[in-house]
Amino acid sequence: MKKKKRATAKTPTKSYLTNKLDQSCSLITRSKGRCVKCGEQRYQQLQCCHIYSRTYKSVRWDLLNLLCMCASCHRWGHNNPCLFTEFVQTYLGAEQYEELKARAEPTSHWKIHEMQELREANESAMKRLGVWYRK
């Protein structure tokens, strides 16, 4: 039986990096401070909404694929996928929506060094935005 590698400071696992990237992308998205649909500003109500679900690995951490939405509007998006798509197309504009759609199509497998680079970039962005999270 093959042993799983443990995450260390030198060799983090994909699982560790996935969790950290999910956290940092969520914080960056929610740092916008208001729901893109209704304008809700209470931070406790804000969530990170994926336009293309997290199963689309190529755009899972793409900030263009993430919207800051309150819990109610996020639920509305899941319950009304056709209306949500129309909303997103209007919000992003046709050009950005098509660009995101094209990036979501290919199957992508992230390499650890790519995930580490993205995590470092997100941490730099979080510092610029004044967003904090536990490492």
- Rounded CA gap, 85 and 51, in Å? 8
Per-residue pLDDT tens digits for 112-125: 888 899 989 988 88
Quick one: pLDDT band at residue 106, thresholds 50, 70, 90? confident
Per-residue pLDDT tens digits for 34-91: 999 999 999 999 999 999 999 999 999 999 999 999 999 999 999 999 999 999 999 9
The whole-number pLDDT of residue 2 equals 60
Measure the CA dihedral 108/109/112/114, to 10°. Answer: -10
If one compares 81 and 1, the residue with the highest pLDDT of the two is 81
